[in-house]
Chains A and B, each alone.
Chain A
Amino acid sequence: EAGVVQSPRYKIIEKKQPVAFWCNPISGHNTLYWYLQNLGQGPELLIRYENEEAVDDSQLPKDRFSAERLKGVDSTLKIQPAELGDSAVYLCASSLGRAETQYFGPGTRLLVL
């Protein structure tokens, strides 16, 4: 069974530039999550989708971050414009349901210069 797929794996951009991350969850998983992980910290939730609906986006900085999950399958997370403090690993995870085991992708490591 294929796991959660994320791309790109690494991204280096200059501040104020836009950047986008893509995630394809495990087939059949209705719930999709985006997390932010800073160095030395555990993942922190940015947004949770149930199918195509964003049901928990309270932690998403909406002034510069946006996300979408069209058709309830794959998802895109965007930052525009990026700031130096956005340098981190962006993780995508999926699960069968909201309280079920979450399976994580390899993450996208973002460096903003």
Chain B
Amino acid sequence: AQSVSQHNHHVILSEAASLELGCNYSYGGTVNLFWYVQYPGQHLQLLLKYFSGDPLVKGIKGFEAEFIKSKFSFNLRKPSVQWSDTAEYFCAVWGNNRLAFGKGNQVVVIP
């Protein structure tokens, strides 16, 4: 079964700072890639996804992610965060008939 690694579980940064969250996976076959976000008190929501095509994908709220197949990575970025981006972010990889999640990144944006 595939595994998904997310590092730096807790991230604290100030508004207007740039954010990058790393995601690496272990599965060598064809994958679909996702980033989900969970705002405080809310349920998991899709932020963006990659199935095929342009490896640079744009999602909601100014987020983007880049799929680098050779590095088995799907890193999430946002050039300038806002207080409302405080949330937990999960990378997920569909492969081998299953969606595997990373442990998540808890991001706190200080006004």
Contact = CB atoms under 8 A, between A and B. Distances in A.
Interface of A: 3, 33, 40-45, 48, 56, 91, 98-99, 101-107
Interface string B1-36: 000100001000000000000000000000010101
Nearest to A38: B103
Contact of A45 (B32, B34, B99, B102): B99
Interface of B: 4, 9, 32, 34, 36, 42-46, 49, 90, 92, 94, 97-104
18 contacts: A3-B43, A40-B9, A40-B103, A41-B104, A42-B90, A42-B92, A42-B101, A42-B103, A48-B98, A99-B94, A101-B34, A101-B49, A103-B46, A104-B36, A104-B44, A105-B43, A106-B43, A107-B43
A98 B43 CA distance: 21
Contact of A91 (B44, B49, B97): B44
A45 B90 CA distance: 15
A105 B44 CA distance: 8
A43 B100 CA distance: 8
Nearest to A43: B101
Given A91-B44, A101-B46, A103-B46, A56 B101 contact: no
Contacts of A107: 43
B71 to A, nearest CB: 21
Nearest to B9: A40
A34 to B, nearest CB: 12
Given A45-B98, A107-B43, A99 B4 contact: no
A36 B59 CA distance: 26
Contacts of A105: 43
A57 to B, nearest CB: 12
A24 to B, nearest CB: 14
A68 B34 CA distance: 28
